[in-house]
């Protein structure tokens, strides 16, 4: 009898332990899955919030503006650029967590179709967003998003002073401007600048940006930051998108000239000159490595014509 009871007890214990282990395993697995799903959802929300947060930077009355955001935890994001037509940028994010794997895969990408964001694969806790306007001749705002530390290596000049002054004014502490490469911090991204400017640095600044062993010719501070903060591929992708947008804007303004002409305004040759600008811009949008500098003579022609019109087109 006693033996029988003992056997029964052992069976009960074994059975209870097995069922308990299964329940605990299911519960732990459920919690693990729940945390992963929540993190994925949180990362998507964060990416979307970042897109909304950048909206005021897209169209501002100011020449430049900046914002500092302290992320709730260490964050990593990357941007993929597509240059077809107006083009799109896909932003995907992931955040560091103290529970489970510290880093999991990127969230579902958020599509951004009307911003020009210059950034690379960034990782950090303090996000700096700033924008600068680009006039070609229609005003577009370029956005820069930084999480990494950057180190600009440049020789002392009027241009480097201008860059330093501007970064200080915008309170961008993520960028360190030094003379020698060895002065850069170990974890920072090194960007070599070979730039110069004349009387008005904001407009006349030009030169080369060397990053990832590739030298990019730039003109204007807005494009200089663009080349410095993004990969060469993303930089050229965004310039193609900008060229296309300029082309479309030139077409739109040519149609506006029609509307003004119908109201009795003399429009001169502005329409033809806008079409020339549009054609050149569309050609650049098709090139692999376009230089927006090539638009300058066309822009000058359009601006000169516009200045003498009784009804200005832009």
* Residue 249 binding another protein, by CB under 8 A: yes
Q: What tokens does 121 get?
A: 């694969």
- Nearest approach in angstroms of CB 302 to another protein is 14
> Should residue 264 be labelled a site residue for another protein when binding is judged by CB under 8 A?
yes
Residue 296: both structure tokens together? 């300058």
User: Where do runs of H (alpha helix) occur along the chain?
Assistant: 2-53, 55-58, 158-169, 201-204, 221-229, 232-262, 270-286, 296-307
Q: Which stretch binds another protein (CB under 8 A): 74-82, 169-177, 188-196, 260-268?
A: 260-268
Closest distance of CB 214 from another protein, Å? 30
Residues 119, 129: Cα–Cα separation, whole Å: 10
Task: Tell me whether residue 10 or residue 121 sits nearer to another protein (CB atom).
Answer: 10
Q: For residues 190 and 248, which CB has a smaller minimum distance to another protein in the complex?
A: 248
Q: How far is the CB of 236 from another protein (least distance, A)?
A: 20
How many angstroms separate the CA atoms of 130 and 69, rounded?
11
Quick one: tokens of 308? 């003498």
- Closest separation between CB of residue 234 and another protein, Å? 20
Residue with tokens 């004349």: 198
Does residue 113 touch another protein according to CB under 8 A?
yes
Instruction: Pick between residue 174 and residue 253 the one whose CB is nearest to another protein.
Output: 253
Q: Report the distance separating Cα 292 and Cα 210, nearest Å.
A: 18
The DSSP symbol for 261 reads H
- Core vs surface per residue 106-115: b (16+ CB within 10 A) or e: bbebbebeeb
Q: Does 8 bind another protein (CB under 8 A)?
A: yes
Q: 290, 236 in Cβ contact below 8 A?
A: yes
Q: 3 vs 70, which CB is nearer to another protein? A: 3
Task: Kindly report the backbone phi and psi dihedral angles of residue 266, in degrees, each rounded to the nearest multiple of 5, phi listed first.
Answer: -80, 130
Whether the bond between 150 and the residue before it is cis, its omega within 30 degrees of 0, is no
**Binding of residue 49 to another protein (CB under 8 A):** yes
Least distance in angstroms from the C-beta of 252 to another protein:
6
Question: What does the alpha-carbon distance between residue 95 and residue 76 come to, in Å, rounded to a whole number?
Answer: 6
Piece in contact with another protein (CB under 8 A), picked from 9-17, 121-129, 215-223, 287-295? 9-17
Which residues make up the interface to another protein (CB under 8 A)?
Answer: 1, 4, 8, 11-12, 15, 19, 23, 41, 45, 48-49, 51-52, 55-56, 58-61, 85-86, 111, 113-114, 138-140, 248-249, 251-253, 255-256, 258-260, 263-265, 310-312
């Amino acid at each position: 009898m006693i033996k029988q009871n003992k056997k029964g007890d052992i069976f009960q214990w074994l059975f209870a332990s097995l069922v308990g282990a299964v329940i605990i395993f299911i519960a732990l697995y459920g919690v693990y899955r729940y945390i992963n799903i929540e993190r994925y959802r949180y990362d998507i929300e964060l990416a979307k919030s970042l897109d909304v947060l950048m909206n005021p930077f897209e169209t501002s009355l100011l020449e430049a503006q900046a914002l500092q955001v302290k992320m709730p935890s260490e964050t990593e994001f990357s941007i993929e650029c597509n240059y077809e037509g107006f083009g799109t940028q896909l932003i995907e994010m992931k955040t560091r967590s103290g529970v489970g794997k510290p880093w999991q895969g990127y969230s579902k990408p958020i599509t951004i179709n009307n911003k020009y964001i210059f950034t690379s694969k960034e990782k950090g806790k303090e996000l700096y967003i700033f924008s600068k306007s680009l006039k070609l001749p229609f005003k577009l705002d370029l956005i820069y998003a930084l999480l990494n530390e950057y180190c600009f290596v440049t020789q002392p000049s009027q241009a480097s002073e201008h860059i330093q002054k501007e970064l200080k004014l915008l309170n961008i502490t993520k960028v360190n401007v030094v003379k020698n490469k060895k002065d850069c911090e170990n974890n920072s991204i090194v960007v070599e600048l070979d730039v110069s400017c004349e009387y008005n640095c904001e407009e006349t600044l030009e030169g080369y940006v060397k990053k990832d062993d590739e030298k990019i010719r730039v003109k204007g501070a807005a494009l200089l930051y663009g080349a410095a903060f993004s990969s060469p591929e993303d930089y050229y992708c965004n310039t193609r998108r900008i060229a296309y947008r300029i082309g479309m804007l030139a077409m739109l303004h040519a149609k506006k000239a029609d509307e003004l002409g119908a109201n009795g305004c003399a429009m001169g040759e502005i329409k033809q000159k806008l079409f020339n600008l549009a054609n050149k811009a569309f050609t650049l949008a098709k090139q692999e490595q376009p230089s927006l500098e090539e638009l300058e003579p066309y822009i000058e022609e359009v601006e000169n014509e516009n200045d003498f019109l009784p009804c200005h087109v832009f």
